[in-house]
Structure 1
Amino acid sequence: MKPRPERAARRTSPAEHALRSLGRALGAAAQNAWRLLRQVLAVAWQRVRPVTDVIGPAGRLVLLGAVLSYGLSITFGWVEFTYLATTLLAAVLVAVPFIVGRATYTVDLQLNPHRVVAGGRALGQMTVTNSGERALLPARMELPVGSGLAEFVIPGLAAAAQHDELFAVPTHRRAVIIAGPAVSVRGDQLGLLRRIVRWTEAVELFVHPVTTRIASSAAGLMRDLEGEITKKITSDDISFHALRAYEPGDALRNVHWRTSARTGQLMVRQFEETRRTQLTIVHTADSRYYASEDEFELALSVTASLALQVIRDGTGISVVSEKLALRTATPVALLDDSSRIEAVSDVFPTLREFARTATRRLPPPSVVMVVAGSLIDLTEFRAAQTLFGKDTTTIAFRIEPGAQSRLSTVSGLTVLTLGDLADLPKLLRRVHR
């Protein structure tokens, strides 16, 4: 059978080629036109936005009512709706003079102190100064503080005059409270038009968790300045172990010359490897492990207390939670970051998965402390313990407010059940023993 000859490729006619070229040109022109239209609309919106921003919710409702009223009047010939629309528009026009004018304020916002322990006292001061050459009419200022809003009536100020406003900041809960920005609000009494001018940046107030002082030796850490001696033999360390025959590649600085001269062959020193103390605190903020908000706060106080003492002792430490790895360079940095921790949910399927992911790039720890609430199962503590080597000491903290603080051992795992923060130093002393 003879092979079928291949069909010759169909050539595109000049007309078809012209149509395709025209289609591509029209498509490119449409894209360019759409891009140009978007740019024009963006510029127009930037020009119109300063005008539309001064219209408050009540003003938008009044304008909408005026448009609908005019529409009903034109459609059905109802003169009453013409009067209503005219009245609504007149109300908006009357409100315009209330937003006209230029203020010359200089506003200084200060918090004293910037850091406070939960339950402490924090005060704020807002100083408003007329930096212009003309007197200013009374005005109203708004200052967001956390989830609340403080309102102040600023009296009329002569040139260079100033006015102080004091306010208290609620600090009963650990948090990072944002105060500001301070804005002046000008507008009519009905709230149809509202002109806002921003005068300051936001200021942070750190409300630190309550902590307790722990004795330096109570955390169960090795107290050697050089670290803990392990059973691993190495050729370069400070804890001498034995001598052995020289092998090619050994460093000449480790040669023991007196023994070499006596035995007639080169002998080098061997050492036991030492390891610097490295503490890792794994603090889970998963809400499924905590029975209440108070329990969550107590767990954070425990973590902060442990970390603070380790930082003071100068021991290496890492503190991790689901959403944040806390800074441990200074006690203040640690407390600031601990104020930012919030409850999370379903970030990791298990405590072990969280601990594995959070500690993957950290230095190998010699001590691991895992902090969780009363709703955690002890098997999750055991599963997290298996992530670390046999030479690593693992201590589990189970937080249960009101419970009797106690120390127990479950399948080789040290478990501290803590019902009160004041019991933490006593329990840690028992661990150290």
Structure 2
Amino acid sequence: MPTTRGRATAAAGAALAAAGLVLGHPELTLLGVLAITAVAAALTQVHRPTPLTATRVLAARRTTPGTALDVVLHLTARHPTQVTERIDGPDGLTHRPLPDPHTHPGPSTYQITADRRGTLDLGPVRTLRTDPLGLAAATRHHGGTDRIWVHPPTHRLHPAPGGTLPDHDGGTDAARTGGLTFHGLRDHVPGDDLRQVHWRASARHGRLLVREHVDTSHPRLLVLVDEHTPNRDALDEIAAAAASLLITALRAGHGCELHLCGGRRHTVHAGSATGATVVLDALAELIPTPTDPVRACRLLATRPPADTAVLLTASTDTATLAAFAALSAHHRTLVAALIGAPTTTAHPGVRLLHAATAADFARQWNRT
């Protein structure tokens, strides 16, 4: 498209040509036509295809805040061109200049560091082509994109209380028994494994139903995250607290579930080799989003009973805390952690923690 100079040149050329025709000065008309022709030639030149290939190699696809990663780009070009790498991260969109692959052949390496939790989307590579007079410019995109997950930091926590099972006297027993057993059928929600869909029952009821299994041999931790926060800083602290809880549970050999008030859910069975990556990726992708935490709390009543259910939120909404407290008959231990939120009154059956940051949450969690 024409640059600012190109548009000014075309406008001036049109004015000169019109003036020459009106005043009867062919010289002015010629100058005007030449100016317009120059802009048209520049547009033709910059819109010619720019042959360029781009291949990106990443040292790792998952990292933590403050850790530098090497990115290697293999670029080839037949003509000199301006090349930039598109980087869309937690701090916004930037374009990183790269050496001209025509004049500097060979791999191009740079380091990238994320200062906070989130995702980094690299690419595509952008080329900018201009004419010698600067009358026109055209950008094109080459290659694909790659994502880097910046996981939230974790803090050392004491594991949640151990698993319990009903005994014959109506009490509870901490002994392990059984294994992965069928619990029932429920409606499909985003994030469910399609391999667990019960197709015959789904066809009979006219909606997707999935098999629900319970691991009766391991304690279970359920973490509910409210993504509705006043800013991204508050959500970063909540994500770090959730990551600390989930990673501690997995390292202790416990099964766990991550529920987002926005609707997504991730279940990780004890001993899963990829469970930590799944939940940390989900926490890295969190962004502040309007949610319905009351509805999310009610949905937890349809889940298999957990030994410990934890609500992480930056809100002191009484309706949310009341809905969470209503789960006391379903889940053994309830903990509501208000991170960065004002002090509020506790509800019966709920252990309430007030913390300014994830580190403060960890200190309070370990204190009891």
**TM more than 0.5:** yes
Q: TM-score, normalised by structure 1?
A: 0.61
Runs of 5+ unmatched residues, structure 1: 1-54, 131-135, 241-273
**Judging changes above 3 Å, is the alpha-carbon distance between structure 1 residues 195 and 78 closer, same or farther for their aligned structure 2 residues?**
farther
1:380 maps to what in 2? Answer: 320
Pick closer, same or farther for the CA change 1:326–1:383 going to 2, 3 Å.
closer
When Rg is computed on C-alpha atoms for both structures, the one with the higher figure is: 1
Instruction: Give the direction of change, closer, same or farther, for the CA distance of 1:58–1:324 in structure 2 (3 Å limit).
Output: farther
Structure having the larger proportion of residues in helix:
1
Amino acid at match of 1:194: A
Q: 1:321 to 1:56 in 2, by over 3 A?
A: farther
User: In structure 2, do the counterparts of structure 1 residues 409 and 387 end up closer, same or farther at CA, with 3 Å as the change threshold?
Assistant: closer
Tell me the equivalent position of 1:294. Answer: 233
DSSP 3-state at the match of 1:209: coil
Gaps of 5+ in 2: 178-215, 269-274
Q: CA deviation at 1:393?
A: 1.8
Which position in structure 2 is the counterpart of 1:114?
A: 61
1:185 and 1:239, CA in 2 relative to 1: closer, same or farther beyond 3 A?
Answer: closer
In structure 1, what residue type is equivalent to 2:39? A
Alpha-carbon deviation of 1:304? 0.9
Q: How does 1:208-247 map to 2 (within 5 A)?
A: 208-215=151-158, 218-222=159-163, 227-230=164-167
Q: Distance in 2 between matches of 1:311 and 1:321?
A: 19
Kept in 2: contact 1:110–1:125 (CA 8 A): yes
Distance in 2, matches of 1:338 and 1:325, equals: 11
Q: Which residue of 1 aligns with 2:145?
A: 202
Structure-2 residue corresponding to 1:417:
354
Q: Is the 8 A contact 2:84 2:97 kept in 1?
A: yes
Aligned pairs for 1:12-411 (under 5 A) are 55=1, 58=4, 61=7, 65=11, 69=15, 83-84=31-32, 86-94=34-42, 96-100=44-48, 103=51, 105-129=52-76, 136-146=78-88, 147-154=93-100, 156=102, 162-189=105-132, 190=134, 192-194=136-138, 196-198=140-142, 200-215=143-158, 218-222=159-163, 227-230=164-167, 277-287=219-229, 290=230, 292-323=231-262, 325-329=264-268, 330-345=275-290, 347-348=291-292, 351-357=293-299, 359=300, 362-373=303-314, 375-377=315-317, 380-387=320-327, 389=329, 392-400=332-340, 410-411=347-348
- Aligned length in residues: 313
* 8 Å contact kept, 2:13–2:34: no
How far 1:324 sits from its partner (Å)? 5.1
1:228-251 C-alpha deviation (Å, 9 max, x unpaired): 225687xxxx999xxxxxxxxxxx
**Counterpart secondary structure, 1:181:** strand
What is the identity, as a one-letter code, of the residue corresponding to 2:310?
A: M
Cα deviation digits, residues 248-300 of structure 1 (max 9, x gap):
xxxxxxxxxxxxxxxxxxxxxxxxxx78643221110112xx4x543321111
State the shift of 1:173 in Å: 1.4
Query: Distance in 2 between the 1:300 and 1:410 partners?
Result: 24
Tell me if the contact between 2:232 and 2:288 (Cα under 8 Å) persists in the aligned partners: no
Question: Which piece of structure 1 moves more, 410-419 or 58-67?
Answer: 58-67
